[in-house]
Copies of this chain bind each other. A is one copy, B any other.
């Protein structure tokens, strides 16, 4: 073992603090790229939610400043679009089976819902966005295939293809808000909300009072989701018959 080695004359000297030479920040060797930016952003989103996902945080995670991101991405909006498209592309939609189109439709919407739960905050980012990315378009095309196999009129298919993902997105958004509050404030939040509902004057709000048990905060959020999904698909099927 060598405890003392003679100094290598070619070894780079440390930069003295009075040097005016620009210090190259040691970005752990991965060069900046769209994919690297999306990776970093997804990691922040999953770990800390949409509010923590700022251009500055992403830049810091990649070892640079926020301005550097703009060489690869036009702005935050495009970054969110890329995140959404990546998740949309992961969606698996089976080949149409005309006999079981309703169950296939439900499975597809359940898949979207679960994706949003897995990436909290993405539902909020997705609301109000018209899908244009290749991943989303592919998934939509496959989903349209299932609806068409159900023998529904084209206009019903088109409306349903908007309506069902809107439901999954909106519901997942609500759910993620609720989950966030729960994780921050714990059981106390749900208890306080329940107590509030029960404390409402029954004379002034007779129907709320009568249904307080059923209205109570989240007995099972997935049961509620299934209720809405069931109602929607049943209703859409009826529209097709009309």
Contact = CB atoms under 8 A, between A and B. Distances in A.
A224 interface: yes
A193 interface: yes
A235 to B, nearest CB: 3
How many copies the complex holds: the figure is 2
B138 A205 contact: yes
B177 A128 contact: yes
A161 B215 contact: yes
Question: Which bucket holds chain A's interface residue count?
Answer: 35 or more
A127 B236 contact: no
Interface in A116-154: 124, 127-130, 132, 137-138, 140-142, 144-145, 148, 154
A148 B215 contact: no
A170 interface: yes
Contacts of A213: 154
Contacts of A236: 231, 235
Interface string A138-179: 101110110010000011111111110011011101101110
Nearest to A205: B141
A196 interface: yes
A214 B174 contact: no
A124 B124 CA distance: 10
Contact of A158 (B154, B170, B204, B215): B215
Given A144-B208, A205-B137, A214 B157 contact: yes
A36 B194 CA distance: 32
23 contacts: A124-B127, A127-B170, A128-B177, A128-B178, A137-B208, A141-B204, A141-B205, A144-B207, A148-B210, A154-B213, A156-B227, A159-B228, A162-B224, A163-B227, A166-B170, A166-B171, A231-B232, A231-B236, A231-B238, A232-B232, A234-B235, A234-B238, A235-B238
